[in-house]
Amino acid sequence: MSLTELETEAPSGVSGEPRAVEGRSPWRLAWERLRRDPVAVGSAIVILLIVAAALAAPLVSAWVGHGPSQQFRDTGITPSGLPVGPNKEFLFGTDNLGRDLLVRVLYGARVSLLVGVVATGLATVIGVIVGLVAGYYGGAVDTILARGMDIVLSLPYLLIALVLATVFGPSLIVTLGIIAFFAWASIARIVRGQTLALKEREYIEAARSLGAGDLRIMFVDILPNLLAPVIVLATLLVPLTIVIESTLSFLGVGIVPPQASWGTLLQESIDFYRVAWWFMFFPGGAILLTTLAFNLLGDGIRDALDPRAERLFAGRRRRRQGPGRLARLLRRGGKEA
């Protein structure tokens, strides 16, 4: 067989044509890493189940025949006036007014998740726009906006929230505004720093030399490269906004009763948690489970989008464990000898 035949002959079972190299985008690689993370996948499943339960609150209410504000004076309260514990009729027990706690927890999930997602969305949009403008234009614009971020981050949000709720009255709109107002600055600071680093890259200079406008450069050339940290920040901001809403409702300046939210349920259980553990346990457990799931999912998304950081931390852990492992191996070898 000649050399030319050897070069052109393909291996058995393999086509003679060269195999095309399949390219994968960073987003696809991040998705593949994320779906191989069992903690992130489990957290996402928990979040989906919580969202599904919140959406199904009217169906559950119709199935059990208990409205979210319906009081059961005969079966929902003991002769001594205390809430009834979990049973066949009330799976989560009742509250101090004889209302079904399961139905109220599900309706509370609708309010708390709505506040968390909407407030996070508003804060993300405002923070991205302000951070892009500050980082791209620089100079006096950057100075003014950066000092505004510092002022917002330095304000005592709880005190300001109490003042605003007293002036405008507690409501869902006021709660959303308060949370969005105090949350955008943290996102804007991160976006500003990333924009300052990206606007000096060669492809930005090339776009500017081709006559691209400022808006196109900011939202077409720079913003796509900021989506990864913004997504991570938004995922980690959702549980924070849920906790803030629960805190405001617990203090009486958030959601107005009888509308149910996890914070109002906790506030109503203050006088009964010693004799009715379920009254505080189920709404508190819902807050804990939701915030934990969002935080774990955010950590998983961060590691999937930036695997180098995880490898760096893993390498540091191995280096810290190295001397101890070497000593254990030497002691083991000495005992065997």
- pLDDT tens track for 178-237: 888 888 998 999 999 889 888 888 888 888 888 888 888 888 888 888 888 888 889 889
Q: For the chain, what is the total number of helices (H) and then of strands (E)? A: 14, 0
Residues in the chain: 337
Strands (DSSP E) found in the chain = none
Q: Where are the domains of the chain?
A: 36-307
Q: Which residues of the chain have pLDDT under 70?
A: 1-24, 307-337
pTM across the whole model: 0.78
Nearest alpha carbon to residue 109 among 263, 234, 233? 263
- What pLDDT was estimated at residue 157? 79
- What pLDDT was estimated at residue 248? 87
Tell me the two tokens of residue 28.
């696809």
- What pLDDT was estimated at residue 220? 85
Buried/exposed 226-248: b ≥16 CB within 10 Å, e otherwise: bebbbbbbbbbbbbbbbbbbbbb
The single-letter DSSP state of residue 170 is: S
Q: Please check whether the domain covering 36-307 is classified as CATH 1.10.3720.10.
A: yes
- What pLDDT was estimated at residue 110? 92
Query: How many angstroms separate the CA atoms of 56 and 53, rounded?
Result: 5
Query: How many angstroms separate the CA atoms of 301 and 154, rounded?
Result: 29
